[in-house]
Amino acid sequence: MISRFEVSGADPDSADATSEFVILEVGQPFANHNGGQLAFGPDGFLYIGLGDGGGSGDPLENAQNLAVLLGKMLRIDVDSPSGAVNYSIPPDNPYVGNPSGYREEIYASGLRNPWRYSFDFLTGRLWLGDVGQGNWEEIDIVDKGGNYGWDNMEGAHCYEPSTGCSTAGLTLPIFEYDHTLGRRAITGGYVYRGARIPGFDGRYVYADYSSGTIYALEYDGINPPVNTMLLDTSKLISTFGVDEHHEHLLASYIEGKVFRLRPLPTGIGDVPGAVRGGALAQNVPNPFNPNTAIHFSTYAKGAIEVAVFDVLGRRVRSLVRESLDPGPHLTAWDGRNEDASPVPSGVYFYRLFIDGRAVDSRRMVLLR
């Protein structure tokens, strides 16, 4: 249900609950994949992202059916009601006046569950994070009339490889990532246009809900995209926002709090004493079986080692042993020792060394 509310006369920061005006209702056959965003575009029209209606693998084939609204990006004019509906269709929507019964509200199709999208106020591009099924998460730049493939495709891959698929007429994602390292559900974000984090201008900042990892994607429309891990958190990041200065905010589903992204330390004087040159993030998933991801950050170039130890302090395996530049890094452990033999269930520790000096340590649990 898409509704409009009026501002309360007593409190301009809240809505009058009695003022609801229903603009659009769309039936949902299942409880999941309802979509997750409303946004007014730079053209003044309301964009509505709807999931495919739920179930596994789009069982009703909604996303590729232009006669239904599910699995689509809609675009309507809420300022100009028309006839029996409380909105009108922008005259340049791609299916205006079609003779095939296609819904004229549709702006783009082939979406599974568009969980957060945003307009880059500088370029007008519409960036979208579409949650995948079982293997791939994707980022799309949405254009009018585009078909983004679901459920013929999951990301840039055939959803059912055994039956084959054709990409003819489809727009493939500009970037995708798989479901390793605890990542299972993308949360779309915003293109950074603030001033607090130098060098980030134009990067698309997004997160994975399941792993709590935040990334920045560089994409100029010409060269291959470059994806960088920014921060590994323990938060279930459900949404991003921007403040009046275009600085990025995010919210954690469990905590119900709003957080602000800030710059990483850039000089020795900015590094907290307890960090001492680097830091480990909590491994994801934890407990784990058989693999877990370990994110860590270093603040200066040096000889870096990340190693696993058992509860008796015996070294089990070195995961990283090389010279690394400052920045965020990633490694993983598959629950095996230096001889590639599986180790038993239990508590283990992983430790970060910089130039031979231990600077951080974390605990993890392996469950066979």
pLDDT in tens, 319-363: 999 999 888 899 999 999 999 999 999 989 999 999 888 888 888
Asked if the model's pLDDT at residue 214 lies above 60, the reply is yes
- Look at residue 274 in the predicted model and tell me its pLDDT: 36
Across the chain, mean pLDDT equals 90
Asked if the model's pLDDT at residue 266 lies above 70, the reply is no
Q: What is the pLDDT confidence band of residue 300, given thresholds at 50, 70 and 90? A: confident
Pick the CATH number of 2-260 from 2.120.10.30, 3.40.50.2300, 2.30.29.30, 2.60.40.10: 2.120.10.30
Please give the helix or strand (H or E) that residue 258 lies within, else none.
strand 257-260
Cα–Cα distance list, 344 to 87, 162, 210, 340, 351 (Å): 62, 37, 26, 13, 19
Asked if the model's pLDDT at residue 265 lies above 60, the reply is no
Residue with tokens 């710059």: 263
- Look at residue 276 in the predicted model and tell me its pLDDT: 52
Structure confidence by residue, pLDDT tens digits, 109-140: 999 999 999 999 889 999 999 999 999 999 99
Structure confidence by residue, pLDDT tens digits, 174-190: 999 999 888 999 999 99
Structure confidence by residue, pLDDT tens digits, 3-33: 999 998 889 899 999 999 999 999 999 988 8
What lies within 8 Å, CB to CB, of 3 at 6+ separation is 20, 21, 22, 23
CB 136 within 8 A of CB 157: yes
Asked if the model's pLDDT at residue 273 lies above 70, the reply is no
Instruction: Residue 272: count other Cβ atoms within 10 Å of its Cβ.
Output: 8
CB 295 within 8 A of CB 285: no
CATH 2.60.40.1930, the chain: domain bounds: 268-366
- Look at residue 299 in the predicted model and tell me its pLDDT: 79
Asked if the model's pLDDT at residue 199 lies above 50, the reply is yes
Residue 92 CA to residue 96 CA, distance in Å, equals 7
Q: What is the pLDDT confidence band of residue 197, given thresholds at 50, 70 and 90? A: confident
- Look at residue 129 in the predicted model and tell me its pLDDT: 97
CATH 2.120.10.30, the chain: domain bounds: 2-260
Structure confidence by residue, pLDDT tens digits, 55-111: 999 999 999 999 999 999 999 999 999 988 999 999 999 999 999 999 999 999 999
- Look at residue 230 in the predicted model and tell me its pLDDT: 87
Domain 268-366, second-level architecture: Sandwich (2.60)
**Two structure tokens written together for 181:** 């390292």
SS3 272: coil
- Look at residue 270 in the predicted model and tell me its pLDDT: 37
Structure confidence by residue, pLDDT tens digits, 217-232: 999 888 899 998 888 8
